[in-house]
C-alpha cells in the first residue's frame, strides 16, 4: 500500500502535518487530506510537490509567492 505523508513548507521550515494519507480532495484555496483511518485535515495553500517514488510525500506551500 502506498500511503503518503503531508508536510507544510513555509519559508525555510518543513513541518510534518499528517501521515498515512490515502486521499486528497481539492476545495477552494486548499485541500482536504484524509488518512487511512478516515481522519480529515484541511490545509489552505498550494501543492508544491508530490513525490510517489521517494518516501511518498506531499509538500504544501502556504507562502505568498508563486
- Is residue 40 included in any domain, yes or no? yes
Cell numbers describing residue 43: 490545509
Is residue 8 very low, low, confident or very high in pLDDT (cuts 50, 70, 90)?
A: confident
Task: Give a yes or no: residue 34 inside a domain.
Answer: yes
Instruction: Kindly report the pTM of this predicted structure.
Output: 0.80
d(CA 58, CA 16): 10
Which residue segment(s) compose the domain that 14 sits in? 4-61
Count up the domains in the chain and report the number.
1
Radius of gyration of the chain (CA): 11
Start-to-end C-alpha separation, the chain: 33
The pLDDT assigned to 56 comes to 76
Q: Quote the CA–CA distance of 66 and 32 in Å, as a whole number.
A: 21
pLDDT band with cut points at 50, 70 and 90 for residue 18:
very high
Per the domain annotation, does 41 fall within a domain? yes
Q: Is residue 66 one of the residues assigned to a domain?
A: no
Burial class (CB in 10 A: 0-12, 13-18, 19+), 60: buried
pLDDT, one tens digit per residue, over 20-63 is: 999 999 999 999 999 999 999 999 988 888 888 877 788 888 76
Amino acid at each position: 500500500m502506498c500511503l503518503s505523508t503531508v508536510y507544510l513548507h513555509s519559508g525555510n521550515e518543513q513541518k510534518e502535518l499528517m501521515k498515512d494519507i490515502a486521499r486528497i480532495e481539492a476545495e477552494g484555496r486548499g485541500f482536504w487530506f484524509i488518512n487511512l483511518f478516515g481522519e480529515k485535515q484541511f490545509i489552505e495553500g498550494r501543492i508544491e510537490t508530490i513525490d510517489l517514488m521517494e518516501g511518498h510525500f506531499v509538500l504544501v506551500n502556504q507562502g505568498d509567492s508563486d
